[in-house]
Every structure is written in C-alpha cells, then in structure tokens.
Structure 1
Amino acid sequence: MLPATFKLCAGISYRHLRNMTGLQKTAVVAINHELKRFAGAGPSNWISQVRRKSSLLSSRIEEKPYSEVEMSYVKQGKEALQKSISILSDQDNWKTEIVAANGDKVLSKVLPDIGKVFKLEVVLDQSPDRLYGELVDNMEQMGDWNPNVKQVKILQRIGQDTMVTHEMAAETAGTIVGPRDFVSVRCAKRRGSTCFLAGMSTRYTGMPEQKGFIRAENGPTCIVLRPNAEDPTKTKFTWLLSIDLKGWLPKTIINQVLSQTQMDFAQHLRDRMETIALPC
C-alpha cells in the first residue's frame, strides 16, 4: 500500500514540478527522498520522522539570507583569516624585536604590499577555550582590564562567525602616540582544537571618524590559540599584528610602541585570567 502511495504522489506532482522554482524543486525532492527513506519504518515512526524533517526543511527555506553588505563583511572576514594564516605559516625571515625573561617574545618581518608585521608568541597558563571565551565572547569588556584600550564595541553581528567592531585605543605613555580608533571586521573560527580571531579594517556608515581620534587601519591581524604541545592545559598564544597608525610618526617610534603594546597585552591578559574564578 505504501509504495503505491509514493508512486501516486510522484505521478500527481510531476507536472507541477516542472513549473516550480529551483528552491521549490529542491524542497519537494528533499521531502520525497525522506519519504522513501522511511517507507520501511512503522507508521508512527514514519509520521514523526516526516513531521520533524518537514519542520527542519521549512525553517531552512524561511531563513533570511544575508544582504549584499553583510555578505561583503563575511567575505572580508574570511579574507583576513586566510591572509593571516598564510603569513603565520611562513616561518622564514622573522627577526626578534623583544624577548622577555619569561620567554615572551615579539618578532617582525616586512611583507610586500603590507609592510612591517609583528608576531607575539607566548605560553599562557589557561586552556584555549577559556581564553577564547574571554577574547571573543567577552570582547566588549577588554577596556576593563587592558589600559591600552579605552573601549571595544560590537557594531553589528553577521551570523555566528563575523562581526563589525569599533575599538578606541588610549594614547601611549608620554603622549608619544595620540589616541587612535579602528573600525574592523572580525572573523572568529574554531578548527579542531585551534581557535582563530582574525580581522582587518573596514568601512561602516554608522561609525564615522570620531572627534579627538585619528582613524587608523589594521590588518590582516589574527590571534591564534592552540593547546601547548608540552602541556595541553596551557595555550600557545600567537598574535599577528599589522597596523597603520596614520599621522606623522618615525618608524623607530612605531616599532617600539607596537612591540611593547603586544608585550603589555600578554601580561594584562595573564592578570585578567588570574582574577577570573574557574567555573564550578
């Protein structure tokens, strides 16, 4: 009886199928596939499975697609991640800028079309998941524990992985470098046990240049968190930094400020994680 019903349904729907749009055809084919798949099951199981699958299919069809602007942000975020991974994968020609007593170090290299980039390498006594939660999920709290940051604000979220942010950086000690701000698109990804937070400057109509701040540019930039090979409960923390601070500044000052900013960030992050109670 049930196979005959399938044939009858297929025959009735065939002439209508030819006049359907691509999305409608896909939906009908998917439903027919699921009906055939559960044809051998008992009546109650078959009915429940069809209802569940139909509900899931309907929710997918009704999902709101990204706008053209949103898709451009998603594309920029993926581009920042791909460029960052490419840079970090090349281990050649990195020069040491600073090495701390605890082993923290900043390296640099000059790249065509990008300029000088900096790479912080440290080991932190925290798991990648805890650090990811603090740096991504609690991103807007960064100004509470990092004195080099005045404020981080999420302007827009696009899906689960992409966001547009506005960061306000404090002026450096002695006002060598005045306050800067950045509008960035960020892409947060997990690949196995490794976490990424990549970004680059973007344009956002809702955040024009701010009075008293120079609009600087960054990117590609990326923080990579992976379990330390010697102790998986700790994290190998790598931060690729590429910034154009704008304005007139000697290169020697820029190099010194950016290297020290990275070293300071590592210590501020350590202090922050030590003050957060471990989850029960």
Structure 2
Amino acid sequence: MEYTELARCAADKLMSYSKDQSGWKLCKKTGEVAVYWRPSTEFTGNLYKGEGIVPAKPEQVWECLKPEPGGLRIKWDNNVEDFKLIDAVTDNLSVCRTVTPPAAMNIIAPRDFVDVVLIKHYEDGSITSNATNVEHPGCPPQRHFVRGFNHPCGCFCVPIPGEPEKTQLFSFFQTDLSGYLPKSVVESFFPYSMAHFYSNLTKAVKALKA
C-alpha cells in the first residue's frame, strides 16, 4: 500500500480504538494519567492506551508533541534520542525515523523505528498524530540499532468544553520492540514509560507557558 493509504488505515484504527471501550484493563495510574491495556489485534503484544488531562491549550500541547526535526519533543521525551524526517510526502504526511535510547537498565538496547505519520486537524480543535511502521529505501536497518515496529499508534489532543486551558490527551502505543526480550520486561516497560511520558509532557507545557 502507498504511504497515504497506510496512514489513513492507521488513523481509522486509532479512531476505532478511541471509541471501543471494551476489554481495557487498568495497569497503571498516576496523578497525570491512567494507562490501560488489552491484547493487540495487530501483533502478539499489547495495545496500550493512556488517558490524562494536560494543563494547557490543545495547540500548546501539540507544540510539545508534534513530530518534527529540532522540535520540542526531543528535548522532553526521554524515549526519543533522535528524530529525522526521511520523506515529506505532503504538508501533513511524512515518513520519519525515531531513535530510542537504552531502557530498563540497558536490558532494552537502542532501537530505531521508521513510520509514516499523518497529522489531522478537526473542526472542534482536536489535533491527532497517526502513525504506523513502513519501509523506506532512504532508511534501511542500521548497525547498532534493533529495528522495532510501531503498529497503529498516536496521540489525540482534544479540547475540553468550558476548560480552554486544559486538554484531554489520549495516547495509543502498540510497539513490537523486536529482539529477544523477556515478555515480563516488555509488559512492565510500557506502562512505566507512558506514565513518565505524561509527567514529562506536563512539565514541558508548563515551561512553554512560562
């Protein structure tokens, strides 16, 4: 499938995840986020959903989240070591490479991911990023990195009626880290990682507003 079709398919699946309330099990809860999981229908791992309120306008939250080279995301997100644009397909569709650092006390080695990313803006002010793994001739697997695969994943920045300084943020992760990792390590890593994602994002938007 072409990149456009793959991205649209990912966006449709993410929308279905956001509407389907069945089967979710709470696995972690903090002051910023509740993290849920259910078995993925895309691969043998799990689909994770984060739900939280971020104390900033949707456009401010998006400024911290948006996937762009040299953007704010690489500064606050501990799971993003490097981010590069591989191919700008359209204004709102691109192919990107993300590098992640070692994790879980170096049990998880550095990974890289190549994804097509579709940005969508809605009339109610919502902004979403929708991504899934692709192959691209400009970014073959590289030495020193395990190639991981993101199945449909992304973030939804949703305005809260009557609360202009707050944003409801939904995040969906279903990542095949590849390699030979114990299942217990993978299943404990993602809820922990998502909790830190929301905590660090909250700090980032407060710094942006300061």
Q: Does 1:175 align with 2:106?
A: yes
Structure 1 residue 88 displacement after superposition: 1.8
**Structure 1: any 5+ residue segments left out of the alignment?**
1-70
Instruction: Summarize the Cα distance change of 1:249–1:230 in structure 2 as closer, same or farther, 3 Å threshold.
Output: farther
Matched, 1:122 2:47: no
Aligned residue in 2 for 1:144: 75
Matched residue, 1:164 = 95
Distance 1:137 1:95 in 2: 29
TM superposition score normalised by structure 2: 0.92
- 2:57 maps to a residue whose letter is S
Quick one: higher RCO (CA 8 Å, sep 6+), 1 or 2?
A: 2
Question: Larger radius of gyration, structure 1 or 2?
Answer: 1
Percent of aligned positions with the same letter in both sequences? 23
CA contact (8 A) 1:140 1:151 kept: no
> Residue by residue, what CA displacement relative to the aligned partner does 1:16-61 show, whole Å, maximum 9, x if unpaired?
xxxxxxxxxxxxxxxxxxxxxxxxxxxxxxxxxxxxxxxxxxxxxx
Structure 2, gaps ≥5 residues long: none
Note the alpha carbon deviations across 1:163-197, whole angstroms, 9 max, x for none: 00000001114102111110000000011221110
Give the superposition deviation at 1:233: 2.1
8 Å CA contact 2:68–2:84 kept in 1: the answer is no
For 1:264, the aligned partner's letter is H
Matched position secondary structure for 2:163: coil
Higher helix share: 1
1:258-269 paired onto structure 2 within 5 Å? 258-269=190-201
Quickly say closer, same or farther: Cα 1:241–1:272, change in 2 above 3 A.
Answer: same
Once residues 209 and 14 of structure 2 are traced to their aligned partners in structure 1, the CA distance between those partners, rounded to angstroms, is 32
RMSD: 1.7
Asked if 2 retains the 8 angstrom alpha-carbon contact of 1:226 and 1:235, the reply is yes
Distance change (3 Å), C-alpha of 1:158 and 1:170: same
- The aligned counterpart of 1:107 is 36
> Partners in 1 of 2:165 and 2:41 — Cα distance?
37
Q: Secondary structure of the residue that 2:4 maps to in structure 1?
A: helix
